[in-house]
Copies of this chain bind each other. A is one copy, B any other.
Amino acid sequence: MDLSERKRKILQAIIDEYIGTAEPVGSRAISKKESLGLSSATIRNEMADLEEMGYLIQPHTSSGRVPSDEGYRFYVNSLMQQYQLGVEAINRLREMMENRVTQLEKIIKQAGALTSSLTEYTTFVTTPGRISKIKKLDLVPVGYHMVMLIVVTITVSSRVISADVTEKECAELAKILNKHLVNLSAEEISFKCIEEIQREIESTMELPAQVLINILNFVYETISAMNDSDIYINNVNSILKYPEYSDLSKARRLFDFLEDKEAVKLLAGGDDENGINAKIGKENGLDILDDCSLVTVNYTLGDRRAGKLGVIGPKRMNYAKVFASLDIISKEIDKILKDYL
């Protein structure tokens, strides 16, 4: 189904226009763009053809045309102009991400926030769900009868546990725990291993059984939780900016959907091929998202696919800009995470 050069140009002009205005595009508007010196009548003929081919839709007989899902698809695949991010944008981005090697989760979160500030659409980002191993444990007394348990895996978690333990005992206890638990994953903490810890503790110090149980519970929880990927969603409000969601109840339905992290996680779950991937309107297979497009990219940790960064916006989103933003940010993430085991 080849399109003449002229049809391509017209289709592109229509979609570009529609992305900007969100209003059905009329033939006159296109003919006035001097770039292709054609009269509105000619444009009309071409538009009729494009509609017949399925790339355009006429909301009603006497209105301008609106791109169909197929129209957007064609645009994304073949028409779209490369978008060049501004130098300042890129620099700001580099600065925010590169300059400070922060903690894994913060990098991920940051990446999501950056994408939304760059594109001004709603974004989400999933953290890498992975089998994590204990790198180190630590115990620090805080307040009265309290100790803070710190578990270092690929990131750091902590919890305060009530236990009446001196600083010295903390150090002793931490040493024992480290000896037995370092480099184990959740599954590898066997009953035998726990027994050994218990025996060793009993032989060196006094410790209520409950405290040890609490500690091991938290350690287990922490490294198990790391297996589940988490998701951060940004800039949901931006939805209210788009005229396609000027219907409040429609906006609320989308809001409620985006509120539900599990649902969005599921949406992000599809294990697509490499590179940037766009799903337009009905391609998402979810009624609520019929008027949305979803553009995603996988980022990698080491060389495993780790998580996904995505943009949710109106179907008439600025694809070029979104593609460019996702491209650069995902590459930055990859670069930063490269050494991160």
Q: Which residues of A contact B (CB under 8 A)?
A: 100-104, 135-136, 138, 140, 142-146, 148, 150, 152, 154-162, 236-237, 240-241, 246, 248, 251-252, 255-256, 259, 339-341
Contact = CB atoms under 8 A, between A and B. Distances in A.
Given A148-B152, A259-B237, A101 B143 contact: no
A104 B145 CA distance: 16
Given A142-B341, A241-B252, A156 B148 contact: yes
Contacts of A104: 160
Stoichiometry, as copies per complex, reads: 2
Contact of A160 (B102, B145, B146, B251): B102
Contacts of A103: 148, 158-160
Contacts of A159: 100-103
Contacts of A256: 237
Given A100-B159, A150-B152, 6 more contacts: A104-B160, A138-B152, A142-B154, A145-B339, A156-B157, A237-B256
A135 B256 CA distance: 42
Contact of A101 (B136, B156, B161): B161
Contacts of A339: 143-146, 162
Nearest to A221: B100
B140 A101 contact: no
Instruction: Output the residue of A138, A156, A251 with the most chain B CB within 10 A.
Output: A156
Nearest to A245: B248
A104 B148 CA distance: 11
Contacts of A248: 240, 246, 248, 251
Contacts of A144: 339, 341
A241 to B, nearest CB: 7
B140 A136 contact: yes
Nearest to A255: B237
A340 B150 contact: no
16 contacts: A101-B160, A101-B162, A102-B160, A103-B160, A138-B138, A142-B154, A143-B340, A144-B339, A148-B152, A148-B156, A150-B156, A155-B158, A156-B156, A240-B248, A241-B252, A248-B251
Nearest to A100: B159
A146 B101 CA distance: 10
A103 B146 CA distance: 12
Contacts of A138: 136, 138, 150, 152
A228 to B, nearest CB: 17
A275 to B, nearest CB: 26
A152 to B, nearest CB: 5
Instruction: Output the residue of A101, A135, A160, A246 with the most chain B CB within 10 A.
Output: A160
A309 to B, nearest CB: 20
A238 to B, nearest CB: 10
A29 to B, nearest CB: 26
Q: Closest 4 interchain pairs by CB?
A: A143-B341, A156-B158, A143-B339, A101-B160
Contacts of A240: 248, 251-252, 255
Nearest to A249: B240
Contacts of A160: 101-104, 340
